[in-house]
Structure formats: C-alpha cells, structure tokens
Structure 1
Amino acid sequence: MIVVENLTKRFGEKTVLNGISFRVNDGEIYGLLGPNGSGKSTTMKILVGILKPTSGSVSIAGIDPLRDPVKVKEVVGFVPETPVLYESLTPEEFFNFVGSVRGIAKEKLEERVNYLVKAFGIEEYLDQFIGTLSFGTQQKISLISALLHDPRVLILDEAMNGLDPKSARILRELLLEFKEEGKSIVFSTHVLPLAEMICDRIGLIYKGELIVEGTMEELKEKVHEENLEDIFLKLTESKGEVENILQALKEAL
C-alpha cells in the first residue's frame, strides 16, 4: 500500500505541491494525471526517495522513503519520465549491473531478463551500446531494469513514452497481471483513453493540488462529463480554450 498525506514540496519561493493526499491499495492501479508542470513527476520522485518533501509524509509498503531511501528502493520499481541509463554499457551489461546492485541471484536474474527481453522484443540489441539505441528501445531497457527484482510497488512516470503499439499493449497487459498479483501501481500518462481503460482510480493534479479523485464512474458523476479527456480538460480549465482553437483552425482552413 502507498499512503501520501499532506505532501508539500517547495523549490525556493515556488510551491510545486501543495498538501496533496492519496492512497493506493494493494492490487490497484492508480492513475496520477495532470498537465505538464502540475507536480506529477515531483510526487513520484518523492515516493521513491529521490526528492525530499518540504512537509507531509509518505509510506510505501510501510517504509518511509525519507527515513530509509535505500530500503524503499528494494520494494519499488521506478520508471522515470526520461530513461536514466549508462550509455556506454550494452543492455546485457546494464541488466547484470542492476542485478548485482539489487542482489538478485544469477539464475533468477537470467530467468527474468530472458522473459522480459523477449516480451519487449529487444533481443537483437543486447550487445549494442545503449547510447546508440533509439529512445523507444532505451525506454524498454528502463522498464525491464525496473521489473528485474519483481517489485511489490511500481511507480511509472510516462512509461508508455516512445513505445511502439505492440510494446505498449504488452506493458498494459503486464500491469493488469501485476495488479492481479496484488502489487500497488502508480501510473502517469497523457494517453487518457489508456488511463480510463486500466486505472481503478484516478487522481488529477492541477497547479500542485489534487483537485479530484475517484473511479471513472465517480468522476463522471462529480464533473458531469462522459469521458476522461473531457473531465481532464474541464477541470484544468482547458476545454473552452481547445474549442476556441479548433474553431479558429476551422475558419482559417
């Protein structure tokens, strides 16, 4: 379980997060959505112990990331918005490095690598330098490395970025499988139909505040819109702006 209470983060005079609270149960996919700059990535970095909050508390599977940032990384698989990899290594070398850091037994590591490499179709790139590979392939490497230790909690920040349709489908099915295994998953994406499809509950961050939260049915009832895209645009004050832009484009064309 993930528990976030009154989380605030300031950088100097700028408040990026302003007292947000939410919970993610075991066996639940929680969609943390919002416009660019809303505070999603900052929240996720605090969850995994990369950033320290200004105030508030976080518990990941009973662990406080602020007090024990190393311990929390043992139970969390984190995929950042932009892959952070060693470009001078090959994927095979990188996976072995991650396995050694995490203390994964050799036999188990080989089994997990083989399974995930085949799932994401990167067998042909295992002996090539990571720095020479496409963004999409690097994203797959980032995903695989986050899953090697079979984490209890997954924090995925725009993990679908750069994935081809086949790999995106595979990741979607893996997330549903992980949910059935009882894992807690926080998932951010700008692909709103995908979030609508797989998330059990959704929290929408806007200007550093969690402005609405609930299942899709609850959000539809609260906001009086029929799909997540319209809910998102309405609550982020973008719907009218988008309609005006589209009308101007129609007139110009």
Structure 2
Amino acid sequence: MTLTVKGLTGGYSSQPVLKDIDFNIQSSEIVGLIGLNGAGKSTIIKHIIGLMRPMKGEISIDGHQLTDDADVYRQAFTYIPEMPVLYETLTLREHIELTGMAYGLSKEEALKNAQPLLENFRLDKRLDWLPIYFSKGMKQKVMIVCAFLVDTSLYVIDEPFLGLDPMAIHDFIDLLKAKREDGASVLMTTHVLATAEQYCDRFLFLADGELVAAGTLDEIRQQYQMPKATLDDLYLRLAKGADDHASA
C-alpha cells in the first residue's frame, strides 16, 4: 500500500474543512479525486504533501509519516501544482538539476533521467531558457518533467491538463500509464472527466469536505443507481447532492 489517509480532519482554522476522511491508494493505481470547487480537494493535497498538519488523523506513504522522518516522507512522492511554480532566475537545466538534488541525484543523473521527458514534451532544445520565455503550457511541461524525472512511490497531481495542448495531454497520459506499470501510484484532481474516465482505476468523490463515494466507475454507478452513467453524469449527480446538502 502506497498512500494511506485515516481519519483525516483538517483545515485552515479551528473549523475543519475536511471531516474524517479515509482512503488508501495501492501500488500500480491511478486514482482521480473528484469534486466541486471548494469541496476540499486542494486541502487534502496540502495535507498529503505536508503544507498543512492534520487536526486529527494520520497520513502515511509507504508506512512513513511526516512526523516520523520528514526527509524520507517527502522523498516518497513528487507533486505537480495546479499553477506552475518556477524560479525566474533559473534555466530549465537548472530546474532539473535542483529537482534531482532534492532526491539525491547528481546533476548528470537528473539530466539523463529528464532527457526522454524533454524529448517527449519537445523541450530538449530549451534547456538554457529562462521561464520568462515559456508559455503557460510550456511551464506546465517543465513541472511535469521535473516531477517525473525521479522514481517515487506516489505522484500527487493537481489539475495537470490546464494549458496543455492535445498532444501534450496524450503524452502525459502515456507517462502516467507507464508509471503505473512500473508500480507507482497516482492521486490526481481533474475536471477533465471524459479523459479521466478512460485511464483512472478508481475515483474518490468529495463534497463539503466529506468523502461521499469511492470505488471504480461501476461501483460508483451502483452507489448512485445509475448503471449507464458516464463520469460526467455522476459528477452532475454529485453536484446536485452537494447543492441539496447546502440548502438543507
């Protein structure tokens, strides 16, 4: 088991946003975290990557908790944020080298690992460019390259498709599938549901800080008694349920 979230309650103040969240992600599994804006998806991610501390509950990756050994915990995952975060004074090459250093790789190892990714995302001729010269989509590709140049147990990804062209989306999905075949786990938020339906193994449905459904597409169809539903249909049902809960 790669990621275990048990009894997670947390938020930004004394009033919790997340309420007793339980789920796990196995090795070789891609899991989609689905919910409306404000449902708590980003809050869950911030707790997993250590930017927020739980009020109650536990989070572990490969059996390690952040409070046990922060370095071991952090090296067990990589993270791609919704908005690219780059250092304006560092070139693409230097971003790759810096990422490698954080995971104990030499500059040479980091660049070697990054080379096929650079070629796939057509960045191999841009190694000495500064971020100011990159479009938003290119910046997102830089984040993808930096995240996937290291082999970790878990990849945490927040809305990865924003700014990517169709070819880059195709290449990114192939990369996710390859990591899954290598035994890694992926937790990803996305609103591109028709695409997620095709490659996610399971889904977690979040509403108002509570986990309201979890399982394969067929299992969630059964829960909502919608045997022919697409993921889009189920999302709309989730949204209606959230609206009913808010107005109650």
TM-score scaled by length of structure 1: 0.90
Q: Is the 8 A contact 1:47 1:65 kept in 2?
A: no
Question: What CA distance in whole angstroms lies between the structure 1 residues aligned with 2:49 and 2:242?
Answer: 33
Matched residue, 1:229:
232
Maintained 8 Å contact 1:5/1:57: yes
Report what 1:83 is aligned to.
Answer: 84
Equivalent position of 2:43 in the other structure: 42
Give ranges in structure 2 of 5+ residues lacking alignment: none
The one-letter amino acid of 1:165's match is P
Q: Structure 1 residue 239: deviation in Å?
A: 10
Measure how far apart 1:240 and its partner are: 9.5
Pairwise mapping of residues 116-127 of structure 1 onto structure 2 (< 5 A)?
116-127=117-128
Instruction: Report the Cα offset of residue 236 of structure 1.
Output: 1.9
| 1:155-189, Cα deviation, whole Å (9 max, x unpaired) | 11111221111111011011111111111111110
Q: 5 Å matches for 1:89-100?
A: 89-100=90-101
Match of 2:153 in 1: 152
In 2, distance between residues paired with 1:13 and 1:172? Answer: 39
Cα distance in structure 2, aligned partners of 1:4 and 1:240? 26
Which secondary structure state, in structure 2, belongs to the residue aligned with residue 123 of structure 1? coil
- Distance change >3 Å, CA 181–CA 238, structure 1 → 2: same
Identity of aligned residues (%): 34
Is the 2:208–2:242 Cα contact (8 Å) retained in structure 1? no
Report the residue type matching 2:161 in the other structure: M
SS in 1 for 2:39: coil
Q: Which amino acid aligns with 2:135?
A: S
SS in 1 for 2:83: coil
Shift of 1:117: 0.6
Corresponding residue for 1:250? none
3-state secondary structure, aligned to 1:19: strand
Q: Is the 8 A contact 1:4 1:58 kept in 2?
A: yes
3-state SS, counterpart of residue 236 of structure 1: helix
User: How far did 1:132 drift?
Assistant: 3.1
Mean Cα deviation higher: 24-33 or 223-232:
223-232
CA contact 1:159–1:189 (8 Å) conserved in 2: yes
1:10-159 alignment runs, 5 A limit: 10-159=11-160
Q: Which amino acid aligns with 1:232?
A: Y
Distance 1:131 1:69, change over 3 A: farther
Q: Does 1:184 align with 2:185?
A: yes
Instruction: Give the letter aligned to residue 150 of structure 2.
Output: H
> 1:237 is aligned with what amino acid?
K
Question: CA contact under 8 A between 1:52 and 1:66: conserved in structure 2?
Answer: no
Q: Secondary structure at the match of 2:16?
A: strand
Q: Tell me, yes or no, if the aligned pair for 2:93 and 2:111 is still in contact at 8 Å.
A: no
Distance in structure 1 (CA, Å) of the matches to 2:209 and 2:169? 28
Shift of the 202–230 alpha-carbon distance from structure 1 to 2, 3 Å rule, reads same
- Cα distance, 1:93 vs. partner? 1.4
Query: Given that residues 49 and 66 in structure 1 are in contact (C-alpha distance below 8 angstroms), is that contact kept between their aligned partners in structure 2?
Result: no
Structure 1: 5+ residue stretches without partners? 242-253
Residue type of the alignment partner of 1:203: L
Residues 48 and 69 in structure 1, CA contact (< 8 A), matched pair in contact too: no
Count how many residue pairs are aligned between Structure 1 and Structure 2: 241
Structure 1: which amino acid aligns with 2:193? L
**Structure 1 position 191, deviation (Å):** 0.4
How many Å separate the matches in 2 of 1:56 and 1:133? Answer: 41
- Number of the residue aligned with 1:174: 175
Kept after mapping to 2: 8 A contact 1:196/1:228? yes
Between Structure 1 and Structure 2, the one with more helix by share is 1
3-state SS of 2:97 partner? helix
